[in-house]
C-alpha cells in the first residue's frame, strides 16, 4: 500500500511535529537573534544574516509543505474509500466511534471480572 505511506507515523506525524517545532524555533529564537544581529552588525553582516534567516524560513516551509501534502494524500485516499461522499465519511466516523466504545466497554467488563476473581 504505497498510497498509505503519507499517513504513516514516521512520515506524516513526524513532518507535522517537525513543522511545528521548526516554526516555533524560527519565531522564538531566530527572529530575536536576527534583530540583535541587526543592531550590532555592519551592512555586510546584516546581508549575510538576512540570507541565513531566509534559509531557515525555506527549511521550515519545505517541511510544512511536505506535511500538508502527506495529509492531503492520506485524506484523499480515505475519502476515496467512501466514494467521495461526505455522508458516508460521517457515518463511517460514527461507526468507528461506536466500535471503539464497545471495545473499551468489553475491556472494562473483563477487568471487573478479573478484579472480582482476585478478591475471592
CA 66 → CA 2, 27, 47, 71, distances in Å?
16, 20, 29, 9
Residues 54 and 14 in one domain: yes
Residues 29 and 76 in one domain: yes
Mean pLDDT within 84-112: 84
What's phi and psi for 8, nearest 5 deg? -65, 150
Host domain of residue 32 = 1-81
Residue pointed to by grid coordinates 507515523: 9
Question: How many structural domains does the chain have?
Answer: 2
Nearest Cα neighbor of 15 from 6, 3, 25, 2 is: 6
Mean pLDDT estimate for the chain: 84
Residues 70 and 98 in one domain: no
What is the Cα Rg of the chain in Å?
24
At 28-66, the pLDDT tens digits run: 999 999 999 999 999 999 999 999 999 999 999 999 999
Instruction: Identify the pLDDT of residue 23.
Output: 93
Amino acid at each position: 500500500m504505497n498510497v498509505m505511506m503519507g499517513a504513516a507515523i514516521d512520515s506524516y506525524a513526524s513532518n507535522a511535529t517537525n513543522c511545528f517545532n521548526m516554526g516555533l524555533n524560527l519565531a522564538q529564537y531566530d527572529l530575536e537573534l536576527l534583530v540583535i544581529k541587526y543592531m550590532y552588525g555592519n551592512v555586510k553582516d546584516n546581508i549575510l544574516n538576512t540570507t541565513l534567516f531566509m534559509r531557515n524560513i525555506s527549511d521550515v516551509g519545505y517541511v510544512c509543505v511536505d506535511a500538508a501534502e502527506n495529509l492531503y494524500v492520506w485524506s484523499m485516499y480515505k475519502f476515496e474509500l467512501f466514494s467521495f461522499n461526505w455522508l458516508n465519511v460521517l457515518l463511517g466516523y460514527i461507526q468507528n466511534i461506536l466500535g471503539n466504545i464497545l471495545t473499551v466497554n468489553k475491556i472494562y467488563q473483563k477487568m471487573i471480572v478479573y478484579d472480582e476473581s482476585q478478591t475471592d
